[in-house]
Amino acid sequence: MADPMGMARSRTSFHVARWAIGGALFGILFVLAAWWVAVATNGTLTFDELHRAMPVMFIVDLAPSVLGIAGALVGVLYHRLHRAQARTQALAEEIAATWTADLQRANGELAQAMDQQQRLYSAVSHELRTPLTSILGYTQLVETIDVAPVEASEYVHEIYQASSFLLQMVNELLEVAKLSRTGLTVALEDIDCCAVVENVTGLLRPLADASDLTL
């Protein structure tokens, strides 16, 4: 397995060496150009005579060293800048990946919530239709046919039962909405199936009577 620290030092040395060599070579070219101008001007190739005639050549001779050191410093700065850019890019990619994952998770949760909401609406619509149908059925029986007071009282009682059942369903629906806001969970418990069947039978009796069916 490669050593990250060793690789980083190797890259640093490479950038420093490249820029140092480049600076030194440029300094050598600068010295050669200065010597060529000096020789062309003074007509001499003697080192001592040329430096006595042009003392600035002492400074020019330092150009390779100075530019080499400057190149090395530039190499260090270049490597640090390159490393900072790489870290910034890696951080940006990590943040983008995190945001993308969060967005996908949020979209999935939203789609699931919308699906659950749609199923809840369908179930509620179906369940609310049953007591409403019962109320309308018993009301029509009272209005359209002559019934004895005892039967009328029974129909009114069934209407009351259906209305109470409808109110209970609305209250339960509000409780479900409250649970979804507060994050509470629903505790399951046993129910009396016979009571449920009798309740449904009473709610559907007007439709059965209208169709001459016996429940």
Q: Domain segments of the chain: what residues?
A: 4-104, 116-210
Percent of residues in the chain assigned helix, strand, coil, to nearest 5:
85, 0, 15
Residue 118's pLDDT is what? 81
- Tell me how far apart the alpha carbons of residues 40 and 36 are, in angstroms, rounded to a whole number: 6
Best CA proximity match to 206, nearest among 98, 154, 133: 133
Best CATH choice for the domain 116-210 from the list 3.40.50.720, 3.40.50.150, 3.30.70.1450, 1.10.287.130: 1.10.287.130
Q: Counting runs of H as helices and runs of E as strands, what totals does the chain give?
A: 6, 0
The token duo for 154 is: 């029974």
166, 132 in Cβ contact below 8 A? yes
Residue 99's pLDDT is what? 92
pLDDT tens, N- to C-terminus, the chain (215 residues)? 445 544 555 666 665 666 667 666 666 666 666 667 666 666 656 666 666 666 666 666 666 666 666 667 777 777 778 788 888 988 999 999 999 999 999 999 888 878 877 887 777 777 777 778 777 877 877 777 676 677 777 778 778 888 888 888 888 777 777 776 666 666 667 777 777 777 767 666 666 666 666 66
